[in-house]
Amino acid sequence: MKMTGAKMVIESLHQEGVKTVFGYPGGAIMNVYDEIYKQNYFEHILNRHEQASIHAAEGYARSTGKVGVAIVTSGPGFTNAVTGLATAYMDSIPLVVISGQVPTAIIGTDGFQEIDAVGISRPCTKHNYLVNKIEDLPRIIKEAFHIASTGRPGPVHIDIPKDITAQVANFEYPKEVNLPTYKPTVKYNKRQLKKAMTAISKAKKPLLYVGGGAILANCGHEIREFAKKANIPVVETLMARGIMGHDNPLLIGMLGMHGEFAANMAAYETDLLISLGARFDDRVTGRLDEFASKAKVIHVDIDPATIEKLVKADYPIVGDLKVTVEGMLSTLGEFELNDYSNWVALLNEYREKEPLRYIDSNTVIKPQWPIQRVGEILGSKAIVSTDVGQHQMWTAQFYPFSFPRQFITSGGLGTMGFGLPAAMGVAKGNPDKVSINFSGDGSILMNIQELMTCVESNLPVITIILNNNYLGMVRQWQTMFYENRLSETDLSMQPDFKMLIEAFGGIGYRVTTKDEFDKALKDAVDKKKPAMIEVIVERNEEVLPMVPNGHALNEMTLIGDNNE
């Protein structure tokens, strides 16, 4: 069947089963948008900024496990999208991002809205394409979805010149891909697995260190089963929250810079660290030469480039995490494990000695309280997104996550402005859940224009702003390490957030008491409209525990310390 390149794009997305596309039109992509107007295969959601289009596609992908799709135009349309691409790349999120490009004859002439999109996207995508011939377009789109969603997932960028979208050729969508140089290792090496299982059987203090790869591999059930059968305690990274479930007796907590005392001490004292889909990020390890320094390391990852990138692996295993943990489960009966009860009991003693907590108040709302309260009221009924800063860490600490993909946050890049558009993608992909976005009064303004998208597209995102009139996390560092020199972090001049969302057509609340918060949350959930709850919180609250930069995980600043 003959069709234009623009129609090929639409037909290819249809063949891939795409139901939602986020984006923003412009000159170089106009032919594709003309076909979007004519088609009835998928819903297009018009964002108000291209960065938000990518974050919304991310929120959709992170919460559903499907490939997120976004379409933008050339030049500034694409450069606006780069932050979203980098955010997805750092967290290994499967996206296909299509950008328009100036006509082929103009490429390299500094034409209007021309930019070297493939050159710019190369460092922050898993793969990218510049389409040179219309005949290649169906194959490229097929490959893009395959590459984005297999192996270690990631964003794939396709740049299409405007003349290619106008040309006509035969369309036949490939049934399979043929990429000889791209063959991710799915099946683990049996000998390596046996060596690792032998090491587990001999260990006295083994620890499962679970990262975001466990979410991406959809192997939460297998990890919980293995931990239970082997009676091995578990620590989660920021990106793995929800894998174990908050009430699992073997979950010691989140580890890292703002991790729990017991979880960090577990990593410090373990004699065998079993890394499952984690990359030894600096915010997790603290001082690298002291991280798990008493332990042998089993490192399981589908990406061979990750293994031994930062930490020596005594037992490296390359393979799909779900398949590998299934292999660990199936061979568990062949090994006589030690009794790890005393080890688990010791870590629980640490939890009792230094529990995750904050000092509540009857006169002012502490910022941790609304997060905890939403968890008590909504629990597993909500999927929770965040922006980046203190509120992000408090959410990771105090929300009772029950299942994988319940916590949507920018971990690797730490992108302020991520939360609201990501929560829009969550709302679109999960209509049976309440989409909650915790934000700060600094982060929320970075993509505030997306309130218009929420209202227009009927996306009932509830944004809860923990307003301390500070750029909170930077203020905390300035207080602790810069002798309280608060350079450009006072945000006392802010808009009236209640009036702001009402101007967009949503519902606004401003609360100063716990009773007011409960009423506002109930009203917002019941009305199922875009809503914003501004909570006036204690200004100088700090995120603790904290491992200061350059320190080991056992060198934590705790509640009650003098912050020295």
Catalytic positions: 50, 112-113, 162, 473
Q: Are 501 and 356 in contact, with CB atoms under 8 Å apart?
A: no
Return the half-sphere exposure (C-beta side, CA atoms, 13 A cut-off) of residue 125: 25
Q: What single-letter DSSP state applies at residue 189?
A: P
Is 249:277 a contact under the CB 8 Å cutoff? no
CB atoms within 10 A of CB 176: 6
Q: How far apart are CA 549 and CA 469, in angstroms?
A: 25
User: Where are any strands of DSSP class E within 500-561?
Assistant: 507-511, 531-536
CA distance 48 to 24: 7
Nearest 5°: phi and psi at 437? Answer: -120, 115
CA distance 226 to 68: 31
| Residues 255, 256, 262, 266, CA torsion sign | positive
- DSSP, collapsed to helix, strand or coil, labels residue 66 as coil
Q: What gap in Å lies between CA 266 and CA 208, rounded to an integer?
A: 10
Helix (H) or strand (E) holding 501: helix 497-504
Beta bridge partners of 95: 68, 155
What are the structure tokens assigned to 500, written together? 């702001």
What Cα–Cα distance (Å) separates residue 201 from each residue in 274, 329, 387? 12, 13, 41
Length of the chain: 564
Using an 8 Å Cβ cutoff, are 206 and 272 in contact? Answer: yes
DSSP per residue, 332-364: GGGS-----HHHHHHHHHHHHHS-S-----SSS
Q: How far is the C-alpha of 429 from the C-alpha of 554, rounded, in Å? A: 40
CA atoms within 13 A on the CB side of 427: 29
Look up residue 386 and give its two tokens.
């965040």
Which residues is 465 bridged to in the sheet? Answer: 439, 534
Distances (CA, A) of 309 to 127, 279, 322: 21, 8, 22
Give 7-34 as a DSSP string.
HHHHHHHHHTT--EEEE---GGGHHHHH
**CA 530 – CA 298 distance, rounded (Å):** 46
- Token pair of 467 as six digits: 């307003």
Rounded CA separation 258/394 (Å): 9
Q: How far is Cα 302 from Cα 407, in angstroms, rounded to an integer?
A: 22
Q: Cβ contacts of residue 377 below 8 Å, gap of 6+? A: 518, 521, 522
